[in-house]
A = this chain, B = another copy of it.
Amino acid sequence: MQSASKFKVGLVQMAASPDAEDNLARAVSFIEQAARLGAKVICLPELFRSQYFCQREDAALFDLAEPLPGPSTETIGRVAREKNVTVIAPIFERRAAGLYHNSAAIIDTEGNVSGIYRKMHIPDDPSYYEKFYFTPGDLGFRAFDTSVGKIGTLICWDQWYPEGARLTALRGANVIFYPTAIGWHPREKEIHGAEQHEAWRTIQRSHSIANGVYVAAVNRVGHEKPADGAAGIEFWGSSFLSDPFGVVIAEASTNREEVLIGEVDPARIEEVRRNWPFLRDRRIDAYNGIDQRFLDVIEEHE
């Protein structure tokens, strides 16, 4: 069997300004740049159209949401069609009054929204008050057909869950994208910063290894300080592409906007999965219980 052709992916590591139109215009410009560099699939960071508004809970901020398809996907659809690229565009989705999602639109080479992923795992931690804004996704874990084969996308907090990566890979994705908005609390950075960044990098590389897929983590950069004088979040960039054995083959800086280009080689997936045939030996007869919160109660009744 001949493997499919190699192709390039573009990871847009960008900062967000307070101006949504400016963010969209710059995203378009980065997509054009990635396309010039040969990328066929281009991914923007989570919620790229705005600063990371979840640092506080404010119902007025639902004004930032938009329908899907909507203005952002329309603008990005034009550049996708013009450049003949697939774009993963993370959108704050307004589905109905009082019903909002942290979503990603798959925009195909015709410029249409050909798929939607809605963030399944929603965090809620100091300065990341996402449970206030985002209804948990109801579309499950998916893979999407593109001109270069199947890809999947998950979003940020999903990256800590092996189940999400596994299900996306079982759907046939060869690359899993993780548009992200993660950073350091300035007061924690010196003591915990290095280990937080390393844990984030490690868990995503592990999804490459467990599933024999490429993983593309696409983070924002910039220190975003809320108006209330709080210390804010220093987004750590460090976008990277890991190969199907977890080797990081492209990696961006911690603090600069950049378009990171990496190559996906289906023959490498074939090679790794032949030599490390983890999918062959899964004990699918014995994973019951994984859909339980904790297995303490079952123990007690045994």
Contacts and interface: CB of A to CB of B under 8 A. Distances in A.
A246 B202 contact: yes
A238 interface: no
Interface in A109-142: 120-123, 125, 136, 140-141
Given A246-B198, A246-B202, A295-B171, A163 B290 contact: yes
A275 to B, nearest CB: 8
Given A246-B198, A290-B290, A291-B288, A283 B203 contact: no
Interface of chain A, helix or strand or loop or mixed?
loop
A62 interface: no
Given A209-B203, A290-B290, A282 B163 contact: yes
Contacts of A287: 163, 167, 290-291
A157 B280 CA distance: 12
Interface in A266-295: 275-279, 281-295
A296 interface: yes
A210 interface: yes
Contacts of A141: 286, 289
A299 interface: yes
A247 B290 contact: no
Contacts of A206: 162, 202-203, 205-206, 209-210
Contact of A296 (B121, B164, B172, B278): B172
Contacts of A291: 284-285, 287-288, 290
Interface of A: 120-123, 125, 136, 140-141, 157, 160-164, 166-167, 170-172, 195, 198-199, 202-203, 205-206, 209-210, 245-247, 275-279, 281-296, 299
Given A284-B293, A287-B290, A290-B290, 7 more contacts: A120-B286, A121-B283, A125-B277, A164-B283, A167-B290, A170-B293, A279-B293
| Nearest 10 interchain pairs by C-beta | A206-B206, A162-B162, A170-B295, A171-B295, A284-B291, A121-B281, A163-B287, A120-B283, A203-B209, A160-B278
